[in-house]
Amino acid sequence: MTSMNLLAAPIAIVVHGGAGSAQLPQPAREEAQRQVLERALKAGHGLLAQGASAVDAVEAAIVVMEDSPLFNAGRGSVFTAEGTIEMDASIMEGAGRSAGAVGGVTTVKNPIRAARAVMDRSPHVMMVGRGAEAWAQRNGLEMAPLEYFRTPERLRELEEWKARTRPGKSRSGGGVSDHWGTVGAVALDRNGTLAAGTSTGGMTGKLPGRLGDSPIIGAGTFADNRACAISCTGHGEFFIRHGVASDIAARMRYLQQPLKQAARVVVQEVLLPAGGRGAVIGLDAKGNIAVEFNTPAMARGSIDCDGKLTTSVLGR
């Protein structure tokens, strides 16, 4: 590290590729997932090192994971109960607290880019369904046909889900899969600005039209320079009901809890007793990192303020 770097303001990035998994990934798959996490981290960190904004870094990191069929976002998204694919994404920056989100999009190749476009180019924060698609197309975003998103593995997971769900039993929210794979990123740029983003296909077997926490600012994604940037993954209904991402930030601001403590309390002492399984990644304005999960495993990685890169798709 040069003396220039020592003097420069800290930069850092953290990504996740979902939590859950009763069965741990096969070694070959584990390695493949770690490689994608590493590419995502390097894409985001490379931009931060050149002085780009945290929002640019978050978007770039998430695009890498959306383009990989190994994660449940963009290509490789999970199926609804009706065999459709409906994707959600959101992004937020912590200086001016601008935010953008899309829900239930089916043909936008990179939903995180659409969320970014909503933030930058529309008067709104959240757009859903056909209106969001049409708007994305009009704004020049790349579109893709259903075949691009669907993978044999996700089809197999849908079949397994159907087999697990008893005939006649409501399929809404029941029998959700054990392995999730939503992606997210949080970043800190040289100006001291934080950003967070999350992108997902949701949960296997969800009802068409269901939105999870991932596109909801304050639930699945939140960024505020006065506290932290947070991206969540897990059983979305619980993350919405507990306002998880904004609760962590509020604990930091009002209770003066450090990031790690706030994340641990919310994931282990609020969510878990309520039955909410999942994980969060977080970053504060000093570059402190939090990774907290109450599931057996979580795919995550970071490049910290010292430039140290780590990835893991296992448990602790």
Residues that bind ligand ASP (CB under 6 A): 18, 72, 180, 182, 200, 202-203, 212-214, 220, 233-234, 236
CB of 189 or CB of 247, closer to ligand ASP? 247
Q: Is 233 a catalytic residue?
A: no
CB of 69 or CB of 202, closer to ligand ASP? 202
Q: Measured on CA atoms in the order 310, 311, 314, 316, is the torsion positive or negative?
A: positive
Nearest alpha carbon to residue 298 among 12, 21, 31, 14: 21
* Type of residue at 195: A
Neighbouring C-beta atoms of residue 12, cutoff 10 Å: 27
* Rounded Cα gap, residues 56 and 43, in angstroms: 10
Smallest distance, ligand ASP to C-beta of residue 35, A: 20
CB of 93 or CB of 213, closer to ligand ASP? 213
Smallest distance, ligand ASP to C-beta of residue 144, A: 20
- Select which of 107, 182, 233, 295 is catalytic: 182
Smallest distance, ligand ASP to C-beta of residue 99, A: 17
Check residue 78 and report its DSSP letter: P
Residue whose token pair is 């259903």: 146
CB of 189 or CB of 237, closer to ligand ASP? 237
CB of 180 or CB of 225, closer to ligand ASP? 180
Nearest alpha carbon to residue 58 among 183, 186, 182: 186
* Rounded Cα gap, residues 176 and 238, in angstroms: 13
Smallest distance, ligand ASP to C-beta of residue 214, A: 5
Q: Measured on CA atoms in the order 133, 139, 141, 144, is the torsion positive or negative?
A: positive
Smallest distance, ligand ASP to C-beta of residue 16, A: 9
Residue 121, C-beta contacts closer than 8 angstroms, at least 6 positions apart: 139
Given a contact cutoff of 8 angstroms between Cβ atoms, the answer to whether 188 and 285 are in contact is yes
Active site residues: 182
